[in-house]
Every structure is written in structure tokens, then in C-alpha cells.
Structure 1
Amino acid sequence: MAVTGETPPLQAGKRERTGWYFYDWAMSAFNTSVVTVFLGPFLTTVTEIASGCAIDADDCEGVVHPFGITVAAGSYFAYLVSLSVFLTVFALPVMGAIADRAPRKKPLLAGAAFLGAAATIGFVFVTGDRYLLGGLLFIIANIAFGAALVVYNSFLPQLGGPDERDKISSRGWAIGYLGGGLLLLLNLLAVMSLSEEGNPQRTLDIARWSIVSAGVWWAIFTLIPLLWLREHPPLEAAASKGNVLTDGFKQLGHTIKQMRAYPLTLAFLGAYLIYNDGIQTVIALASQFGTEELKLEQDTLILTILIVQFLAFGGALLLGALANRIGARKTVLLSLALWLGVVTAAYWLPEGEPLPFMLLGAGIGLVMGGSQALSRSLFSQLIPAGKEGEYYGFYEISDKGTSWLGPLFFGLIFQMTNSYRTGIISLVVFFLLGGVLLAIVPLRRAIIAAGNTPPKLI
């Protein structure tokens, strides 16, 4: 980003960029093995046990009463996702403000990442009917996941110029898919070799340990970016003159007021929050949909997610290359049209047949990474210099597992209709509305208004 009157930032080298990519490798294990595959079915089963339903019941319609609130067992996980993200609305922008003003960002990244990893490892204690413990650990892990992403994404503008960020962002997502996919492959091997037919408790235990493995993976590989990323001192105007925490809260209030001076940036952010909420809801609830509605076995679900992961690696790079030819916005709009087809096709998937579900997963894999990676790099162009952390704090309200409107909407639809299919098809509104809003935002004018130099293609 061009910053008038400031010392140009140090150019990032290959080692630093690789370190940045490796955090995506580290945390994607949580997004893939936990949020996308194991946690929904696992916590739903634990909740059904708490409601008095047998572990092998085929048609369990029990309810639980956390803190006196009546909740259908099938809606519990979706509501948890919404609650955790509602809480991030307050936590993540503050984390971003602190990151912009702190002299060192890496301790913030370490603290959030290791807290999330520890909460994930804590699922080793979620046994029997401890659905409340599982819910609390997930909320902590998901908020920490988002907080770490705020800091992680705030490094992006320091890693390359306007014409490089689409490629850098796409590579990060692609490497993340490889990391998440590799751990998921290991978990699939565990499911296939250790499961016993007619022993649902064994399946539940394998799922629990698979969740724990993601926390261990997340913690270990976070060490690489902590070693290889360099600290970039904040701009003098943003640097904290006193206590970083209290100054972060004060600065957040100023930023919220100042954001009104960048209405086009806010317009893009609004469009993104809507369409990405639909994407994240599909990702987070796909496993639950496959288990509860389509009656598919867990190994089928994991194999499908593996297909998604490894195709997403190529898809992220492919759409990144396409963006270099037609622009990032047109590429994202194309991916949203494909997402509409995915959601519509999901409604008509036949029960008990793995192949159509896998084919749909292949389609998701080809468009998933590119739509999100390019949105991230587009947003980096719209942020005033020195405000990266704060703006990404708002951005992360709907990124990589932290959606809230979609899961809440899905949960309410299921509670009213008792149909996962109706919940899935209702998500088309997010892709339609978000796509229309993205199409009408004048991005080049928005980038200039934020004080940045536009790339050649947008």
C-alpha cells in the first residue's frame, strides 16, 4: 500500500511468505477435521444422548434444555456456531485494533492460536452426555480461531504489492487445503481401520480423538510462522503510546466512526459478509447434512471432504490464475453462480447414495478456495494504511468457520420444518443477495478512496 510520508516497509522474502502460508496449513486442520467433518455429527450425537435418546437411534427427535432453553438436538451445533460468532463481533475488531498498535504481532498470533488449539485438545474430556462442555470448548476454540486469523490476515498487505496479493492469498489458501486434507486423510485411515460394525460408541470415540488431533496439529505447525514471519513495526500514527490493550479499545471506537468516511469499503464488506456466510454455512453443516438427512456413513463423508480439500488446492490456484486474466471480482462472481448450483443440487441429493454426494463435493472443491482467497486479497486493497488489523477484525466476522447468520437461519428453518433439505435450499438467498451487492460496488473508486493504488485488473 502506498503510504505518504512513511518509510517504505521492508520487502517480504520467500521465507517470510512461506512462514505465512504455513499458518494456513496449521489452522486448516481445525476448519476441516473439526468444523467441517467431525464436530457437527459428534456433538449432535452427544446432545442426543443427553436428551435421553439411545446412541444408535435412527429417528431421534429429542430436545435438551441448556440454561432452561429448549433446543432440538439437531439444532444445537448450528446454534453454537451462531453464538460463537455473535461473540466474535465484539472480540475480533478489538483484537484487530490491538494488532495494529502493538509493536509485535507474533505474540498475539501465538496467544490466540495456542488458546484455540488447547480448547480443541480439551475435547478429550467430552464423553458421555457432556454436551455443555463440548459447546463451551467449541465457542472458545472458534473465537480464538477467528482472533488468530485477524492477526494472520493483517500480515498480507506487508507481503506483496497490489498486483501480487491475489497470488499470495490464493497460495495461502491452497497450502491450507493441503494441510487440512493431509490430517483428514490420516483420520480417515483411523476411521476405516478402527471402526467396528454395530459399535457406535467406538465410532464416537474415534471422532473425539480426531478432533483432538486437529488441536495438536494446529499447535505444532503454528511454530513455523512464529519463527519465519518478521515483525513489521506499526505506522507511527497507529503505534500505541501507552497500554496496547486500552489504546486498542479506544482506537476501535475511533475507527468505527472513521469507517463512515469509506462507504465503498463498507459496501464491499457488507456484500462479503452476506455471501461468505452462505459459503461457511455449507462448509460447517455439510457433514451434519450428510449424516442426518442423507444417512451416509462417516467414512463416506470424510472421503468426500478429502475430495473437496485436494480439489480445492487446485481450484484456489486455478481461480487465482483466472483472476489474473479477468480480474478478481468477475472471478468471485462466477464462483458465486456456481455456489448457487451447488446449494440447489444439494436439495435434490438422494438418500443413502454416496456417489452424488461425492460429485457435489468435487464441485464445491473447485470453487471454494478461490472465492474466499480472492475476497481476502480484494479487501486488502480497500483498507486504509495502518488499519489492516482493525478492518480484518470486522472481515473475520464471516471467514473460515465463523459465520453466524447462515447457521442461525439454518437452525431456525430446521426447528420449524424438521428438514435439513429445506435448511440447505434456504441458503440461496445469501449467494444471490451477496453477489448482487458485490457486482454494484465500484471497486476501483473504492481502492483510490482508501488511499491505495489499484491493481491493473480488479
Structure 2
Amino acid sequence: MHMTATAAGDTEPTTIIPRSHVLSWGLWDWGSSALNAVATTFVFTVYLTGNSTNHPFGDVDSVSAMLGATLGVAGFIVAVLAPITGQRSDASGRRKFWLAVNSYIVVLILALMFFVQASPNYLWLGLLLLAAGTLFFEFAQVNYNAMLLSVSTKRTIGKVSAFGWSMGYFGGIVLLLIVYFGFIHPDVGLFGVTSANGLSVRVSMLIAAIWFGIFALPVLLAVPEYHVPEKVARPKVSFFGSYVRLGHDIARLWRTSRQTLYFLIASAVFRDGLVGVFTFGGVLAAGTFGFSPSEVIIFAIAANVTAGISTVLVGRLDDRIGPKPVIVAALVGLVVCGTAVFLLHDAGQTAFWIFGLALCLFVGPAQSASRSFLARLIPAGREGEIFGLYATTGKAATFLAPTAFAVFVAIGGEQYWGILGIVLVLAIGLVVLIPVSAKPATVAP
């Protein structure tokens, strides 16, 4: 299959898009599961926070709060720098270069997690590596998202975006199976690895680093480098001059495409809630519902299967009815299911299995449709900048879910109260999104 598109994702037959380019682009998402599924969600964060019977780094509730605060600081740094990195990659035409640099910094950070031994003395090292991994992953994702319009058309943006997200979930399944059956579940895993001093988790992080390192390569080798359209090319400016340009660009968005800014704000809030669902899902499974590390990974595999399948199916719906109805329906489902997890926390693991998996039905479609919603609005030559703003507005709000989680844990005195913080963020995002117009913007380049 081939598709035709212009640099802005139009359907004019100026560029042939081979299926291999779409697959290579999606494989980066497949590889990024090393950070998303293994490091920040179901393995390394659970290793740090512990569970009801095993907490080598300290009290579950206090470590959970520290985790939320650390990720909040990382989000603030991304918020300050992301639009500048995107804008400068637009101007230089070096999206793939910066995608490569930031991706392989994440690979290095994943490998360094091997050195976080099961002791309170290593807690801050673990937290700092998580924060740094989140930081550079977000920088990489700015350029990765900007490449969506190079591998899709206006008619297939929703499907291709959903394909990428689903590849992330399915990649997570395969990688979690490898680390679960290879190292974490057996008393003695491959190469004689045991759980002593957290070795099974630490070796799993080395596997995650190799995984991302391999699957980050295809997009760098197969998809052509972006070239700035001559009609929208802009002169290079200094680093601080980029902020001046950013201010002018935001002012122009306000004048000519105010709905785009409204969507960036709304998506910032609800996307942080979406990230919170997965970031704290494994933590809650272990700390509140008594899942063992092995049970957390089994749940993670089921969660990724559920999210991956729903994302693929709903991606086709995105192209037919538009992304906004998809996002609204998903957020309503998330608020309902999240509230059920809180109310039924005393019902034990069965309740978490039912409503936790129900949450996963809605997370992927909301994330994918949000990306395709914005991609439909971006003019040629400003993909990196606008997706940089997308990252910035998202990370400007990144403190919301971790902070709300930590605040509600403090209010309720128990970890499960943090669920209400995540639900609140999702509900606010839904309310802010509802009045946003879904009509395409007419942003002057």
C-alpha cells in the first residue's frame, strides 16, 4: 500500500508514502514501551515504591509521594524547553537527528537503572533516573509526533496515529513477557538471575535499554529527513531568541486560531490524567490491592492487550466521526471507572482487575485521538513547534496528576486516595475540552 501526501499531510499526490515508512515510524513506539511499560509504569516504579509486604526503599506512601513530586519537577523542565527544541528542529530540518540523540540518551538512562540496588541509599538515584528518562523521552517524542504528518494523509491521520499508539502497547506486552518469564517470575531466571538485591528488576532494565536501542533504529533509517518548505522557512535565531519567536507565534495563534490554543490547554490537563492512570496504576496495584511484582506484570500484560486492541479499533472511528467525540467518550469512561476503583478498593484484586482493565479501554483511544486532533490543525513547516507546544502545555500541567495524587494520599492518609486525584484531573480536562471547536484551524504560517 502506498499513500500520497504533502509535507502538511494533505492529500495532494506530491509524495509517495510506502507502508514500510509507516511501519518503521510505528516501531519507535513499539520500542518506547521500554520506558513507558517497564520503567515508568509496571516494573521499575513498582520496584521503588514496593508493595504491602515488601518495601526495600522505604514506606510505600512516602516513596509514592516522592515519586509524584520528582516526576512533577521533570515535567516542569520539559514545559520550559520542549517548544524550543521543536521549533529549532523545524528551522534546522534535523528532526531525525534530535530524535536519535534524545532516544539514545533514554537508552543510556535505562541501562543506568541497573545500578539502583534494593536499598534506601539508592532511592534518589532511582528517582533521578526516572525523571531524566521522562525528560529526554518527551524531547524525543516532540520530533516523533511531528513526523506523523510525513507518514500519513489527512484521511489516514487517525488510523496511523492509532497504529503508533497500539504498537507501543503491543511492544509493551512482548517486552513484559520477556522480563516476566525470563527474569522476574522464576526463582532463578535466565543467566542465573535471582531477585536478591533487586537483580531481576535491574537486569530487566538492561533488557529494556537494548529493546529501545534496537527498535528506535528503523524510523531513523527508513523515513526521509524532514526538509523545511521554502515558503515557510525562517532564519535561525539564538536559543534565547527562540523564546521571543515563540511568544510571537503564540500571539499569532491567539489572533488567528484561538481554538488551537484552547485545545492545547484542554489536552494538557486530560493528557496528564491519562499518563497518571498508567504511571500510578502499577503502584496502586502493588501498594493498595496487594499485587505481587509478578501479579503486577500479569496485569500489565492484560492492560496493554486491552489498550492496544481498543486503540486500533477506535482509530478507524477517529477518521470517520472525528477525534473530539472519541476523546469525550473516553474521558467520561475514565472518570466513571476511576471512581469505581476508589469506591471498591475494599473489594480487593477482583475489583481492580475489572475496573482497572476498563480504564485501559479508554486511555489509548484518548491519547491517539488527541494527537490526530492536533495534527489536523498544523500548517506546513510548524509541526515540530506546534507539537513542542503540545508537549509544553502537557508538561506545564504534568505536575497536576502527580501532585493531585500526592495531595489526596496526604489528605486520606492512605495510598488509594490518590485515585481521586487522578480522576479529578481527568474530569477537569473533560470540562475544559467540551467547548473547544473541532473545526480545522486556519493558522498562518
Give the TM-score normalised by the residue count of structure 1.
0.85
Q: Residues 301-324 of structure 1, C-alpha deviation per residue, up to 9 Å, x if partnerless?
A: 111110111122210111112234
**Which position in structure 1 is the counterpart of 2:3?**
none
Name the CA distance, whole Å, in 1 between partners of 2:55 and 2:327. Answer: 42
CA distance change for structure 1 residues 425 and 228 in 2, over 3 Å: closer, same or farther? same
State the one-letter code of the partner of 2:203: W
Q: Residues 259-297 of structure 1, C-alpha deviation per residue, up to 9 Å, x if partnerless?
A: 322211010111111111111111101111111112221
2:133 aligned to 141, 152, 164, which one? 141
Is 1:381 aligned with 2:372?
no
Q: Residues 80-136 of structure 1, C-alpha deviation per residue, up to 9 Å, x if partnerless?
A: 111111110112111111111112321111000001110111111112321222222
1:322 aligned to 297, 317, 321, which one? 317
Q: Residues 216-274 of structure 1, C-alpha deviation per residue, up to 9 Å, x if partnerless?
A: 21111111111111112012255454578676555434323333222110101111111
CA distance change for structure 1 residues 305 and 242 in 2, over 3 Å: closer, same or farther? same
Is 1:221 aligned with 2:190?
no
Name the CA distance, whole Å, in 1 between partners of 2:346 and 2:143. Answer: 42
Is 1:284 aligned with 2:279?
yes
User: Contact 2:408–2:420 (CA<8 Å) still a contact in 1?
Assistant: no
Name the CA distance, whole Å, in 1 between partners of 2:54 and 2:150. Answer: 52
Aligned residue for 1:12, secondary structure, equals: strand
State the one-letter code of the partner of 1:367: F
CA distance change for structure 1 residues 31 and 394 in 2, over 3 Å: closer, same or farther? same
**Which position in structure 2 is the counterpart of 1:74?**
64
State the one-letter code of the partner of 2:100: A
Pairs within 5 Å for 1:287-302: 287-302=282-297
Aligned residue for 2:434, secondary structure, equals: helix
User: Contact 1:17–1:159 (CA<8 Å) still a contact in 2?
Assistant: yes
Aligned residue for 1:427, secondary structure, equals: helix
Name the CA distance, whole Å, in 2 between partners of 1:350 and 1:242. Answer: 55
Name the CA distance, whole Å, in 2 between partners of 1:427 and 1:355. Answer: 21
**Which position in structure 2 is the counterpart of 1:455?**
none
Q: Residues 168-206 of structure 1, C-alpha deviation per residue, up to 9 Å, x if partnerless?
A: 10111111211111001111212211379xxx9637322
Name the CA distance, whole Å, in 2 between partners of 1:324 and 1:233. Answer: 27
**Which position in structure 1 is the counterpart of 2:142?**
150
**Which position in structure 1 is the counterpart of 2:89?**
99
User: Contact 2:170–2:305 (CA<8 Å) still a contact in 1?
Assistant: yes
Aligned residue for 1:161, secondary structure, equals: coil
Name the CA distance, whole Å, in 1 between partners of 2:201 and 2:346. Answer: 23
1:90 aligned to 74, 77, 80, which one? 80
Pairs within 5 Å for 1:37-436: 37-45=42-50, 56=54, 61=59, 72-127=62-117, 128=119, 129-189=121-181, 190-194=183-187, 202=196, 204-239=198-233, 241-242=235-236, 248-249=242-243, 251-261=245-255, 262-350=257-345, 353-397=348-392, 403-436=398-431
Name the CA distance, whole Å, in 1 between partners of 2:53 and 2:296. Answer: 19
Greater mean alpha carbon deviation, residues 135-144 or residues 322-331? 322-331
Name the CA distance, whole Å, in 1 between partners of 2:357 and 2:105. Answer: 33
Greater mean alpha carbon deviation, residues 384-393 or residues 187-196? 187-196
Q: How many residues align?
A: 429
Aligned residue for 2:230, secondary structure, equals: coil
User: Contact 2:40–2:130 (CA<8 Å) still a contact in 1?
Assistant: no
Greater mean alpha carbon deviation, residues 357-366 or residues 241-250? 241-250
CA distance change for structure 1 residues 2 and 117 in 2, over 3 Å: closer, same or farther? closer
User: Contact 1:240–1:247 (CA<8 Å) still a contact in 2?
Assistant: no
Structure 2 residues not aligned, in runs of 5+: 1-5
Instruction: State the shift of 1:341 in Å.
Output: 1.7
Name the CA distance, whole Å, in 2 between partners of 1:432 and 1:358. Answer: 22
Name the CA distance, whole Å, in 2 between partners of 1:319 and 1:230. Answer: 29
Aligned residue for 1:193, secondary structure, equals: coil
Name the CA distance, whole Å, in 1 between partners of 2:68 and 2:207. Answer: 23
Give the TM-score normalised by the residue count of structure 2.
0.88
Name the CA distance, whole Å, in 1 between partners of 2:373 and 2:386. Answer: 13
Name the CA distance, whole Å, in 2 between partners of 1:380 and 1:451. Answer: 15
User: Contact 1:276–1:398 (CA<8 Å) still a contact in 2?
Assistant: no
State the one-letter code of the partner of 1:24: D
CA distance change for structure 1 residues 57 and 141 in 2, over 3 Å: closer, same or farther? closer
User: Contact 1:397–1:403 (CA<8 Å) still a contact in 2?
Assistant: no
1:21 aligned to 23, 26, 32, which one? 26
CA distance change for structure 1 residues 117 and 55 in 2, over 3 Å: closer, same or farther? farther
Name the CA distance, whole Å, in 2 between partners of 1:388 and 1:126. Answer: 38
1:449 aligned to 424, 442, 445, which one? 442
Aligned residue for 1:449, secondary structure, equals: coil
User: Contact 1:101–1:238 (CA<8 Å) still a contact in 2?
Assistant: no
**Which position in structure 2 is the counterpart of 1:69?**
none
1:11 aligned to 11, 16, 30, which one? 16
Give me the CA root mean square deviation.
3.0
User: Contact 1:154–1:389 (CA<8 Å) still a contact in 2?
Assistant: yes
Instruction: State the shift of 1:74 in Å.
Output: 2.9
Name the CA distance, whole Å, in 1 between partners of 2:55 and 2:319. Answer: 52
**Which position in structure 2 is the counterpart of 1:31?**
36
User: Contact 1:295–1:352 (CA<8 Å) still a contact in 2?
Assistant: no
Name the CA distance, whole Å, in 2 between partners of 1:271 and 1:361. Answer: 24
